[in-house]
Amino acid sequence: MNKEFLFELLSTGSVSGNEAELEKKIYDYMQDKADEVRVDELGNVTAILNPSAPFKVLLAGHADEIGLMVTAIGSDGTLMVTNIGGIYTTTYPGHKVRIYTKNGVIYGAVANSRDIAKNGDLKASDLKIDIGAKDREDALSHVALGDTVTFDTDVRELLNGCITGRALDDRIGAYIVMEALAEAKKKGASVGCYSVATTGEETTGNGAFFTASRVKPNIAIAVDVTYTSDNCGISEALTSDIAVGKGPVLCNNPSIHKKLNAGLRECAKKLNMEVQTEAANGSTGTDGDTMHLTGIGVPFALVSIPLRYMHNPDEVGSLADIRNCIDLLAEFFADCTADMDLKPF
Ligand SMILES: [Zn+2]
């Protein structure tokens, strides 16, 4: 596992709709690890093994992150914003942010006061970013409407192989699918293996739609993060008892393909690896839902990394879970055969 490259990805801004810098890094990284690497008009990067094989398995991890977007600039030069994806607005006041402009990153401070701190109903439109500008004209000489914003924070290592950072959701997924493909090549996978770092998952799902529509996979697997029930997590009655460090999570829900889950479980068994199971109703809220409904329909599964404090600037995950997820998916790629029968009876 290339921790240095993972941390490089986690230190790159990639707010939904503005993922190109991160996608380019993945594109370059995969050049000597795949048989072919494609980029499409949205910036989706797809690494491929055995591109002429008719049976295709597509893994998707999304490269985009949640954040803010500049919508207006006040006469005093402060920036006004809207949310991109599901932010916790109250986590922003009092923090430093990065604004990704066409001339590079500039920095800002999100205004805070006793009144703002007491406002539990704070909306993104209530946030004001101070970039030190003298007035609107001064601000506009550096920032354009539509520029994206993230917390000014990257990744740190914690005890026991844990890491914390913003938007591990889902840059760790984009990293995992690429490393799994590189490992599958070493294992001699025979089917068409496709790993995509998708754009737009947090907003429109366009990246997964473009990619699955074009690849036309026989099987799709979304690789994302999931809520835990440990450390201030959500009730286990909602999504089962899930903890950081206890292995990749397989999802059971009405749309997930049972035989694919069984196949993944079999791979975990071969590797002597613990996996966790989450049970959920309805759709998954991931690229899996999008890929599932492309073309003539695509059977899919969801493999997740347990993640604490999702969509906060201090998400916590485990390097061991990431490593295990890479191994599991590489094994799955290598285990797939062109004559797999996915019909339930
Ligand atoms: Zn996600």
Give residue limits of the domains in the chain: 3-65+166-335, 67-151
- Whole-number Å distance, alpha carbon 176 to ligand 1 midpoint, is 13
Confidence (pLDDT) at 290: 98
**What is the Cα–Cα distance from 30 to 28, expressed in whole angstroms?**
6
What proportion of the chain, given as a percentage, has pLDDT over 90? 95
Work out the number of other CB atoms within 10 angstroms of the CB of residue 344. Answer: 7
The per-residue pLDDT for range 278-317, each reduced to its tens digit, is 998 889 999 999 999 999 999 999 999 999 999 999 999 9
DSSP 191: S
The per-residue pLDDT for range 192-229, each reduced to its tens digit, is 999 999 999 999 999 999 999 999 999 999 999 999 99
Strand partners, 68: 83, 149
Split at pLDDT 50, 70, 90, the class of 39 is: very high
Tokens of 47: 């690494």
User: For the whole model, what pTM was predicted?
Assistant: 0.97
User: Catalytic residues, which ones?
Assistant: 201
Write the single-letter amino acid at 96: K
The residues placing their C-beta within 5 Å of ligand 1, an ion, are 169-170, 224
- Whole-number Å distance, alpha carbon 146 to ligand 1 midpoint, is 22
Tokens of 295: 């073309």
Q: Which CATH architecture has domain 67-151?
A: Beta Barrel (2.40)
- Whole-number Å distance, alpha carbon 202 to ligand 1 midpoint, is 7
**What is the Cα–Cα distance from 43 to 175, expressed in whole angstroms?**
16
The per-residue pLDDT for range 148-184, each reduced to its tens digit, is 999 999 999 999 999 999 999 999 999 999 999 999 9
Task: Respond yes or no on whether the N-terminal peptide bond of residue 64 is cis (omega within 30° of 0).
Answer: no
Q: 226 in helix, strand or coil?
A: strand
Confidence (pLDDT) at 326: 98
Classify domain 3-65+166-335 at the CATH superfamily level. Answer: Zn peptidases (3.40.630.10)
- Whole-number Å distance, alpha carbon 206 to ligand 1 midpoint, is 14
143, burial (CB in 10 Å: exposed 0-12, middle 13-18, buried 19+): buried
Section 232-257 average pLDDT: 92
- Whole-number Å distance, alpha carbon 33 to ligand 1 midpoint, is 25
Distance linking the first and last C-alpha atoms of the chain: 39
Work out the number of other CB atoms within 10 angstroms of the CB of residue 76. Answer: 12
Confidence (pLDDT) at 231: 85
Tokens of 203: 């907003």
**What is the Cα–Cα distance from 66 to 83, expressed in whole angstroms?**
8
